[in-house]
């Protein structure tokens, strides 16, 4: 199990605390320092069953600078998918967190206790 975190994020800290309380073995990836490649982002999206715009923090300054809410420049379909992935790789702060990759090959957005427990059960 691997968990992508930003140590400054309260939801990440809560997820780590729950994993520790339950004695789960996991690897921490501080994705702002160890930035995922476009291929790694594609792989985690496949595991999540989501698209890049689904895991994008659109309120971040970088999102506003890139104007990610402009659906003409940033279409949310197959034609825009690679541009979104490249944007996440270039600006990792845009990636929603925490992301937990489960032992069964799936992944979850660990933003709630239920989601973290779901990842632990896989």
12 is catalytic: no
Task: Give the angle subtended at the CA of 52 by the CAs of 50 and 55, to the nearest 5°.
Answer: 75
The active-site residue, picked from 4, 6, 7, 9, is 9
Cβ neighbours around 8 below 10 Å, total: 9
> CB neighbours of 110 closer than 8 A, spacing ≥ 6?
3, 11, 12, 15, 97, 98, 99, 100, 116, 119
Q: Which residues are catalytic?
A: 9
């Amino acid at each position: 199990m691997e968990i992508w975190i930003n140590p400054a994020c309260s939801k990440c800290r809560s997820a780590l605390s729950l994993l520790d309380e339950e004695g789960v073995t996991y690897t921490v990836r501080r994705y702002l320092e160890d930035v995922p490649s476009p291929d790694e982002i594609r792989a985690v999206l496949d595991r999540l069953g989501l698209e890049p715009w689904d895991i994008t923090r659109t309120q971040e300054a970088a999102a506003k600078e890139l104007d990610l809410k402009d659906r003409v420049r940033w279409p949310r379909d197959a034609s825009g998918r690679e541009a979104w992935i490249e944007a996440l790789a270039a600006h990792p702060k845009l990636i929603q967190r925490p992301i937990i990759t489960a032992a069964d090959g799936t992944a979850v957005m660990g933003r709630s206790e239920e989601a973290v427990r779901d990842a632990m059960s896989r």
